Structure 1
Amino acid sequence: MEGKDTDQIPLLIPYKLGQIRLSHRIVLAPLTRFRSYNSIPQSHAILYYSQRTTKGGFLIAEAACISRAAQGFKNTPGIWSKEHIDAWKPIVDAVHAKGGIFFCQLWHPGRVSDQSFEPNVGQAPVSSSDKQCSPLVDGGVEFKFLTPRKLNSDEIRPIVDDYRMAARNAIEAGFDGVEIHGAHGYLIDQFLKDQVNDRTDDYGGSLENRCRFALEVVETIANEIGPDKVGIRLSPFSNYMDAGDSNPEALGIYLAKSLNKYGILYCHVVEPRMEVMEERTECVVSLGPMRRAFNGTFIAAGGYEREDGNNAITEGRADLVAYGRLFLANPDLPRRFELDAELNKHNRDTFYSPDPVVGYTDYPFLETII
């Protein structure tokens, strides 16, 4: 980056992510935008992601559904077919053309399937249990969720294989790796959390059993594309989508230690204080024990701003920090952090609108303001 000396700005100190050399430690968090019409990534995403790309910057794409049955929301992207692979390629190419590193987040929402959008008419979404998720209002949009069907144990392995194929497709599309979405109350989290998971078979009850599905997905994908191309996102402390746990500290530490067996590239964890609908929820616990338990790169996310992001790096609480809303509204966020410049304010009402420009690619860059 050009400009003043960045040695004193921890977020701008280069970092080696496995064999990948990053020029700074500011990560674009995966952000669902609902602008992939009929599950196909669109050309306007080329501009959106390239706007947020710097040479040596790390971006994680919005969650991509691993199968047709896993598409719980309208206009979220897929990664299960050749059509998806072909649609993602020019987007990935645009990020690479600017020197960015790009991972695809793999997603199965499970029971969090929007009632107004039924991709499989007459079929209930699947989950670890038959417990229904409460309605949610976000970005001016109300989501109501269907009552799920509890997966039979013999149905789980085929879903693991869907993750494997999605990972292979992502690499074919040109992505540098994949992030497994194991957070925020979606399918993997529905197995991890005892508020949702009431199973009595090998996938329920004990910590080991509740984590089995997640770890099977990790192992299968690592074997398919290589562990150096695999990360996972977790939110053990979150109650989002009615997915809480009675002992999140134990869950987080168990997962962090268990992941070491597979040698994956990174673990991306949402802070206990994550912000939902502009309100920060504070928690006395920290990610410290998980960070110390995991051997690879540790990415922290959840309501970070410039100062506390710098502190997290300085104090060794994270190697990288992921930014969502700030990066959404400030495509040149690393530059603004470098200059400690004023930030654009995000407009939550446009988070999930289908408009290909407004609230998507029209946030101003710093040079257009000063």
Structure 2
Amino acid sequence: MNKDLLSPIALAGHTLNNRMVMAPLTRNRAPGSLANAMMVKYYAQRSSAGLIITEGTQISEQGVGYPATPGIYSQQQIDGWKQVTNAVHEQGGAIFAQLWHCGRISHPSFHNGELPVAASAIKPAGQAVTYEGMQTFVEPRALFAEEIPGIIEQYRHAAACAKEAGFDGVEIHAANGYLIDQFIRDGSNNRSDQYGGSLENRTRLLLQIVAAVGSEIGFHKVGVRISPINAFNDISDSDPQSTFNHVASSLSGLGLAYLHVVEVDMTGQSDPEFDMQQLRDRFDGLYIANGGYDKTRGNQSIAENRADMIAFGVPFLANPDLPERFRTDAALNTPDQATFYGGDEHGYTDYPTLGAE
């Protein structure tokens, strides 16, 4: 059978309608860290995606790093998300929650003056987005080894909450310079204990989180997102190919739902020095490719077996009916960047569908 973006695929016990994934997109429209009616409408509108991955959703108060981002650790948050998952399921869609801990990419103003936590006490360059505007990042506090089981427990608890909220699975956010990425990469991890130094040690936290989450909800309902060449949030590694080859190999054989790879940096550029195919070859599950794909390139990647599914970010943001637009070769809406973060329904739930213009 010829495979393309619009062909079905089995994932996490479901047969998805297509191979188009709505990528996780932070929108800062969850005051009080609660999913709300506006978010219900937003996700339901996009439920023709084969799979929706929610915006980054913090696993605890300690995990917060941005204003008005949702959480998945309290009963009130579960109840809010339940309305979202019900709406998506009513439309025949599937939805995973992205589990997020920002680590050092945060600010004391989110934590009653306490320092953000990280793998090591290394201050990132740049500024935090806070309720008081942009503020310079602070030097974080390095987590003590005895605190790390508590971090793993936060992920397990969040996965249990996601299951109760009706999600079809979860994605562990190990990308883009947030907490897990801070442990994986040697530019942000100078620990000398069992979580630092060797590749095995630096990937230990990720694998322990995967084990805890998989044991809680089933490994076939767990995906992992990585971003090997992305320097976002001042993250770096001296040998990203070796580091992320090791990550991909280590995640293989666990029966995971997928490996989701951001193949570009924050400017949308790829790195000719980095071979993504090596990750694909080392991981035995579904491979989701992310990074500036359009219909033509997505179909080509799937046909040539370089990816099983393709994640689209901004195109889904501006086109709630993106699969239908691809199917009919319809024109795409123009995204309004001024409304990406924060605000109301404008630029959020008011992008027209085909026939509604």
Q: Does the alignment pair 1:309 with 2:298?
A: yes
Q: Does the alignment pair 1:122 with 2:116?
A: no
Q: Residue 136 of structure 1: CA displacement?
A: 5.0
CA contact (8 A) 1:131 1:196 kept: yes
Deviation string for 1:235-273 (max 9, x for gaps)?
A: 1221111112111111111111111242211111110x3
1:100 match: 93
Q: Residue 282 of structure 1: CA displacement?
A: 2.8
Aligned with residue 36 of structure 2, among 42, 63, 82: 42
Q: Does the alignment pair 1:145 with 2:143?
A: no
Distance 1:146 1:43 in 2: 35
1:3 match: none
1:135 match: 126
SS in 2 for 1:49: helix
Aligned with residue 16 of structure 1, among 10, 14, 22: 10
CA contact (8 A) 1:298 1:320 kept: yes
CA contact (8 A) 1:132 1:147 kept: yes
Note the 1:238-277 alignment, pairs <5 A: 238-271=230-263, 273-274=264-265, 276=266
SS in 2 for 1:368: coil
1:358 match: 346
Deviation string for 1:151-178 (max 9, x for gaps)?
A: 1111111000000000000000000110
1:172 match: 164
Higher deviation after alignment, 97-106 or 284-293: 284-293
Distance 1:203 1:358 in 2: 44
Aligned with residue 297 of structure 1, among 260, 263, 286: 286
- Which amino acid in 1 is paired with 2:299? N
What TM-score results when the alignment is normalised by the length of structure 1? Answer: 0.92
2:180 match: 188
SS in 2 for 1:337: helix
Deviation string for 1:280-328 (max 9, x for gaps)?
A: 3231123111111111111110111111111110111100000001110
SS in 2 for 1:367: coil
Alpha-carbon RMSD: 1.7
CA contact (8 A) 1:57 1:99 kept: no
Distance 1:145 1:352 in 2: 20
CA contact (8 A) 2:12 2:168 kept: no
CA contact (8 A) 1:80 1:166 kept: yes
Deviation string for 1:70-116 (max 9, x for gaps)?
A: 1121110000100100111111100000010110000000000146x
- Which amino acid in 1 is paired with 2:352? P
- Which amino acid in 1 is paired with 2:250? S
CA contact (8 A) 2:107 2:128 kept: no
SS in 1 for 2:241: helix
SS in 2 for 1:343: coil
- Which amino acid in 2 is paired with 1:84? Q
SS in 2 for 1:11: coil
CA contact (8 A) 1:38 1:74 kept: no
Aligned with residue 281 of structure 1, among 266, 269, 289: 269
Q: Residue 346 of structure 1: CA displacement?
A: 1.3
Return closer, same or farther for 1:106/1:143 CA change in 2, 3 Å cut-off: farther
SS in 1 for 2:223: strand
1:214 match: 206
Return closer, same or farther for 1:195/1:247 CA change in 2, 3 Å cut-off: same
Deviation string for 1:113-168 (max 9, x for gaps)?
A: 146xx222120000011111222599xx8464232101111111100000000000
Q: Residue 19 of structure 1: CA displacement?
A: 2.5
1:4 match: none
- Which amino acid in 1 is paired with 2:241? E
- Which amino acid in 1 is paired with 2:116? P
Distance 1:361 1:18 in 2: 28
Q: Does the alignment pair 1:331 with 2:325?
A: no
Distance 1:143 1:77 in 2: 21
2:80 match: 87
SS in 2 for 1:322: strand
- Unaligned 5+ segments in structure 1 are 1-6
Which contiguous aligned blocks of 4+ residues in structure 1 show a shift greater than 4 angstroms? none
Higher deviation after alignment, 120-129 or 162-171: 120-129
Sequence identity (%): 45
